[in-house]
Amino acid sequence: MGEDKRLAGEDKRLAAVVALAQGMAAAHTPHESWRAAALGACRALDGNFAALSVWERELGRLRVLVNVGERRPDEEEFPEAESYPVHQFPEITEFLHERWAGGGGPNAWVETAEGTAAGTPGYFHQRVAALRRRGRGCCVVAPVVLHGRAWGELYVARAVAVPVFGRPDADFATVLAAVVAAGLAQTERLEEAHRLAFTDALTGLANRRAVDVRLEEAVERHRTDGVVVSLVVCDLNGLKRVNDTLGHAVGDRLLERFGSVLSLCGAMVPGALVARLGGDEFCLLAVGPPADDVVKAADELCRRAAELELGEGVACGLASTEDAIGTVRSARRLFRLADAAQYRAKAMRADRPVVAGREGPDDPVVRLADEPPGGQGEPGERRRFRGRRP
């Protein structure tokens, strides 16, 4: 009978480990991964509260990433600013560096509201005070080690009048922390793959793929909720001359420098996405702010681009759903309008942005964007990039 009970307990814990691993594997974002880790550990250890925290060495603090379970009023699920100075929890450094470095693994330990549980190494003081303050009976703390370094900790607590965690629970928490570390490593790899897929390698800005995704979402929001969507498309003048006369390395420096200027001007518009579309073409996408705010940022971009040591300024076109450009039902139409405005700015050698729909009912930019394929002076997807490909 006792053996059957032991085997049943082992099966339950094995199932809990599998559920934790599966939950983290299914996560698509860091927040989902953190939540899956804390929830999985809380259920596996029969806790009523759990948290996952990261050790930010450069700031000397333990920052809470997520709180799950029975949270107190001051415990947000994803806290913006819940952190604790490491000196309040010396075990983070002492345990992981002195004890672990001396041999053995980074084992978990148990604390209770009455003090350290019998038979387990512990550190009284702050954690015990926190248990009492929050009305919890005990907790188990498991260091999380990632890439061979202390990353943070997994914390699971139980309520008062519930059996206190023992040494077997601490050993199991150590196993769970290892599973969490593997899940976090997977999340890091996915984040890096996502970053590479949506980032321009030369400038560090977003790339065309990122713009396409964001623009589709933005136009859908405009269609359903009337949100203002504005798109700036700009063409860096003189890149070919720089490449031909000074070399591609210098041309790349011009692209990087302009990317920095675009990033600076994009910061004038809350939440704007700035990107390199390819070659010498860049863009700024804003969702929500008034069109005039975006025009102001584009105007500043033109001014700063003209002051760059290399190049010949920038041709800048803008289209916004807030202006008289007709109904925008697709991302493609808004892109064509912005690109047509940019094409007109280049043809006019304009030193300020050309804004679609602001030249009256017969606006030439809108006419140009609406020309059928094969028309004169086509903008957008049918023009080849004149600059160097990324």
Other CB atoms within 10 A of residue 270 CB: 11
Q: How large is the average pLDDT for residues 200-220?
A: 89
- What per-residue confidence (pLDDT) applies to 218? 92
- Which range among 205-219, 250-264, 363-377 shows the weakest confidence by mean pLDDT? 363-377
Query: Residue 5: pLDDT band by 50, 70, 90 thresholds?
Result: low
- What per-residue confidence (pLDDT) applies to 129? 83
- What per-residue confidence (pLDDT) applies to 2? 60
Percent of the chain predicted with pLDDT > 90: 39
Contacts of 84 (CB under 8 A, 6+ apart): 61, 62, 64, 126
- What per-residue confidence (pLDDT) applies to 7? 59
6 or 227, which is more confident = 227
Q: How large is the average pLDDT for residues 260-271?
A: 89
Closest of 299, 297, 301, 300 to residue 286, by C-alpha: 297
Q: Is the pLDDT of residue 99 over 80?
A: no
Q: Is the pLDDT of residue 102 over 50?
A: no
Number of residues that make up the chain: 390
Q: Is the pLDDT of residue 121 over 70?
A: no
Strand partners, 54: 63, 152
Query: Residue 4: pLDDT band by 50, 70, 90 thresholds?
Result: low
Residue 136 is classified by DSSP as E
In DSSP notation, 35-51 reads HHHHHHHHHHTT-SEEE
Tell me the C-alpha distance between 12 and 9, whole Å: 5
Tens of pLDDT, residues 314-324 = 999 999 999 88
5 or 271, which is more confident = 271
- Which range among 37-46, 73-82, 189-198, 334-343 shows the weakest confidence by mean pLDDT? 189-198
Query: Residue 364: pLDDT band by 50, 70, 90 thresholds?
Result: low
- Sheet order of strands, 109-112 included: 83-85, 61-69, 49-56, 149-159, 136-146, 109-112, 115-116
- Which H or E run contains 180? helix 167-197
Tell me the C-alpha distance between 265 and 269, whole Å: 8
Query: Residue 116: pLDDT band by 50, 70, 90 thresholds?
Result: low
Cα four-point dihedral sign 319, 323, 326, 330: positive
Q: Is the pLDDT of residue 221 over 90?
A: yes
Q: Is the pLDDT of residue 115 over 80?
A: no
0.75 cut: is pTM over it? Answer: no
89 or 229, which is more confident = 229
- What per-residue confidence (pLDDT) applies to 303? 92
Range from 61-75, 87-101, 200-214, 355-369 that averages highest in pLDDT? 61-75
Q: How far is CA 315 from CA 32, 269, 306, 357, in A?
A: 42, 20, 10, 17
